[in-house]
Amino acid sequence: MSRYFMYGTSLQESEQMMMSVPNFLPRTKGMFIMGQKTIDEKEEFKRCIYCSEYSKGGCRTAHCPYLLDRADFGQIGYADFIKDSFWDSDDFFFKKRLRGLFRSFTGEWFMSSYHKDRYLCLAQGSALLQSTKKQNLALLYLLTANEQLWNRAKDHIYPNKTALLEIPLTGINTTCYALFQAAKTIASGKLHIKENELADKTLIGEVAFKTIIQSFLIARYGDEIMTVKQ
């Protein structure tokens, strides 16, 4: 597969994925800095015309680097993050499934209360390097989502890293295998799971599909994206 799941990173040309994350500006109060322009919060602060990337012909970038900031003010939501990350795909059925995902989104990012508890416990107790923190949080999100995969992975998750290659896979079911391949994609920057596989509902169920897509979003934006609820 020559297409990427995510575009706009420095690794696009080398067909790597999610190894480079957009540089988001720090949060501010009272005034919002977007590119080189400072905007008062009380005005229509999140409109694209205020951005330094915007010109008379429209936005000069293919993918907005300020989505999290804009989401903070309620201007955009879950669907916008999915479209910005995946909408360049040529796979009709993959995009159709993505539409179903964001149309059914309720604001819940975890697959179960167990998933949430496991993830938060590991994330809060981690000592991850800042340079790879987003990718490692995405791995934790994936490996804690499914009970069978979690039971195999838990002894190979350390405070500062996840040892994917140490996780035993013998006898693993199709769902766990798909989650593991998504984890390998995030960890290596090479595609181990294809769009047509993700589009196949008989191969990858709804819960696994949602988990994988959301892990890719976490790998790009960090788990701060889980504050997006609409």
pLDDT digits (tens, 9 = 90+) for 137-170: 999 999 999 999 999 999 999 988 899 999 999 9
- pLDDT tens per residue, range 86-112: 999 999 999 999 999 999 999 999 999
- pLDDT tens per residue, range 16-53: 444 344 443 444 444 445 554 555 553 444 677 777 77
Residue 74 lies in a domain: no
CA torsion sign for 75, 88, 96, 175 is: negative
Give the number of domains in the chain. 1
φ and ψ at 25, to 5 degrees? -80, 150
Stated pTM of the model: 0.78
Residue 55 lies in a domain: no
Residue 27 lies in a domain: no
DSSP letter for 24, please.
P
Residue 178 lies in a domain: yes
Q: Is residue 140 within 8 Å of residue 164, measured between CB atoms? A: no
Nearest Cα neighbor of 139 from 171, 114, 164, 112 is 164
Residue 217 lies in a domain: yes
Classify 35 in phi/psi space as left (phi over 0), alpha (psi -120 to 50) or beta. Answer: left
Stated as kind and residue range, the H or E segment containing 167 is none
